[in-house]
Amino acid sequence: MFAGLDFGTSNCSIGIMHAGQPTLIPLEDGKTRLPSCLFIEKESSNTVTLSDAEIASRVTTLKNQQITAAKAATDEALITIARKQLRKEYRDKTANNTRAQSIVEALRSNGDVIFGEEAELSHVAEPENGFYIKSPKSFLGADISSAQKQVFSDIVEKMLAFIKQEAEYVKQIEIDQVVIGRPVNFHGLLGRDGNAQALDIIGSAALKVGYKQVEFLMEPVAAAYDYERQLSRDKLVLILDLGGGTTDCSMIQIGPGFVHQQDRQSGILSHTGQRIGGIDLDNKLALMALMPHFGKSAMLSNGLPVPNNLFRQAVSMNDVSAQQEFNARRTGIEINDYCKITTDPRLNRLKTLRDGKFGLRVSRSAEQAKILLSEKSPIALPLHYIENDFNISISREQLSDAIADELRKFEVLMTDAIKQAGALPDALYVTGGTAMSPVIQQWIHRVFPDMEVFIGDHFGSVTSGLTTHAQRLFGR
Ligand SMILES: Nc1ncnc2c1ncn2[C@@H]1O[C@H](COP(=O)(O)OP(=O)(O)OP(=O)(O)O)[C@@H](O)[C@H]1O
Ligand SMILES: [Mg+2]
C-alpha cells in the first residue's frame, strides 16, 4: 500500500487513497493533524506493544461511557483515543527510576516517547520531566554537528515510526511505499548542502522505519496536484504554501490536459522558497507586541535602553545560537544587573522568563494570539505563568505591523516565481496554516488586486497532493 506523508514543521499528516479520493488518516484523538513535536521523558518506560484485544476493549469502554465527544466519534477516532490512553497507562506503570541526564541518554534508552498534542501538554505540565522537541524539521537543514545530526535522525525516525504505526493500525493496512513532501528550501543556512542533509535525514529515517520505497515531492507541487483535481480546464497557477517553518511558491501548469502526462517536470515552470513561516510570525509578534511588556526599550539609569538583542534572543525559539546565547550564564547575570539599574518594573518579567525557562511558552502564547486574532480583534492574551493576572491586549493591526518585513519577503518570493516562469499566472492557489490569518488574506488581495485567488484546504492540501502523486508512482 502507498501513502502521502507531509512531514511538516508544525504538523504532520498522512493520507491514502480511499474510494478514489485521497483521505487523511486520524493520528491523535481522531484528528488527522499531528503537531510536530515530541516529549522524551527522562524516566524512560518500556516500548509499548498494544494487543488488538485491549484496544478493542478500550474502544467499547469509550463507546459505553456515553460521553458526547466519544458518541459522535467514528470508530477510527476512538481507536486513536484508546491507543493514546493505553500507551499512557503503560508508560506510567513501567517508568524506571534512572533519570537520563541528556537527550542523547534519553534517546539511547529507547523507551516510549510522547507525540503531538500530548507531548505539548506534558511539556507544559512538567517541563523538568523530559526533553521537548518542537518542529524538528526546522533544524534538519541547519549547520549542525554530526552528534546533533544523529540526535535529529533519531528524533525524525521516532516521529516517522509513530505516524506509520498509528496509520497502519487505524486502517489495518501495511504501508510500504511513500511520497514525502519537501519544502523548496529547508530552514537553515547551508543552502543546497542543507537541503541534501535534510533529505538524507528524512529519507534514511523513512527506510529505517520500514518503508521500502521513498520518494520526495516539492510541497507546493503537491498542493497544485490537489487543486488540479477540481479543475475542468487547464491553468497556469501560482501556488503559495504558507506553512509553519517555510514559505514555498511554484508556478505550475495543471488541469485535465496535464493530469495524465507521465512526466510533469516540463509543466513546473519555477520554484521559490524561503525559511520563513508561521514560527517567524510568532517570533515577530512576541518581539513587537509581547516584549514591550517585558521591558523592551525600558531605560536604564545610565541613560541607555536595555539592549534589544536580549528580547530578540528570548523569543527566537528556532534559532539555536540565539537560544544558547540567551541561556548562557553571563546573560542571566547581565539581566540581573539591568534589573538593578532601572526603575522600570517590566524588566523583572524578562528575568522570570529566563529563570523559569518560559521561552517556549511565550512563543506558544504568541502563536495562540496569532491564531485567536484570526477569529477576532483585539484579543486578551493571558500570561499567568509569568505573573498573576498578567494579560496583554493585542490587535490585528499590531500583528500586521509586526510582520510587515515577512509580508514583503513573501511578496518577493511570489514575484520571483512569476519572473522565473516568464509568464503571468491565471490564478493564485493558497494553502498552509499561516494563510488562515485574515491579515495574510487581506495582504494577498492588496498585493495582487486583480488575481483570481483560491484558498485551499489549509492543512490537508499538501498531503492530499502527495497521496495523489503516490498513486501515480506506485498505484499501478
Ligand atoms: N487560525 C490561524 N491563523 C493563523 N495562523 C494559523 C492558524 N492556525 C494555524 N496557524 C499557523 O499555521 C502554521 C502551521 O501551518 P501548516 O500546518 O501548514 O505548517 P507545516 O506544513 O507544518 O509547515 P511547513 O510546510 O513549513 O513545513 C503554524 O505556524 C500555525 O501557527
Ligand atoms: Mg506544509
* Percent over 90 (pLDDT), the chain: 82
The Cβ of residue 192 has, within 10 Å, a number of other Cβ atoms equal to 9
pLDDT of residue 22: 97
pLDDT of residue 190: 65
Indicate the pLDDT class of residue 46, thresholds 50, 70 and 90: confident
Mean pLDDT of all residues in the chain? Answer: 94
Taking residues 236-242, what's their average pLDDT?
97
Nearest-atom number in ligand 1 for the CA of 246 is 26
Residues 6+ apart with CB under 8 A from 451: 425, 427, 428
Compute, in angstroms, the gap from residue 10 CA to the centroid of ligand 1: 6
Q: Which of 7, 11, 376 to mutate to test the pocket of ligand 1 (most atoms within 8 A of CB)?
A: 11
Indicate the pLDDT class of residue 70, thresholds 50, 70 and 90: low
Compute, in angstroms, the gap from residue 119 CA to the centroid of ligand 1: 18
The Cβ of residue 290 has, within 10 Å, a number of other Cβ atoms equal to 26
Indicate the pLDDT class of residue 366, thresholds 50, 70 and 90: very high
The angle formed by the CA atoms of residues 314, 401 and 419, to the nearest 5 degrees, is 105
pLDDT of residue 191: 67
Q: Is the CB of 372 under 6 A from ligand 1?
A: no
* Whether the predicted model's global pTM rises above the 0.85 cut: yes
152-179 pLDDT tens trace: 999 999 999 999 999 999 999 999 999 9
Q: Is the CB of 437 under 6 A from ligand 1?
A: yes
Q: Are 206 and 161 in contact (CB under 8 A)?
A: no
Q: What is the DSSP letter of 328?
A: S
Residues 6+ apart with CB under 8 A from 21: none
pLDDT of residue 150: 95
73-111 pLDDT tens trace: 889 999 999 999 999 999 988 888 788 888 999 998 888
Q: Is the CB of 370 under 6 A from ligand 1?
A: yes
Q: Which of 43-47, 144-148, 234-238, 272-276 is predicted most confidently? A: 234-238
Q: Is the CB of 220 under 6 A from ligand 1?
A: no
pLDDT of residue 267: 94
pLDDT of residue 189: 67
pLDDT of residue 281: 97
Compute, in angstroms, the gap from residue 432 CA to the centroid of ligand 2: 6
Compute, in angstroms, the gap from residue 79 CA to the centroid of ligand 1: 26
Type of residue found at 209: V
Residue 68 in this model has a pLDDT that exceeds 60: no
- Which ligand sits closest to the CA of 406? 1
315-364 pLDDT tens trace: 998 787 898 999 999 999 999 999 999 999 999 999 999 999 899 899 99
Taking residues 294-323, what's their average pLDDT?
92
19: left (phi over 0), alpha (psi -120 to 50) or beta: left
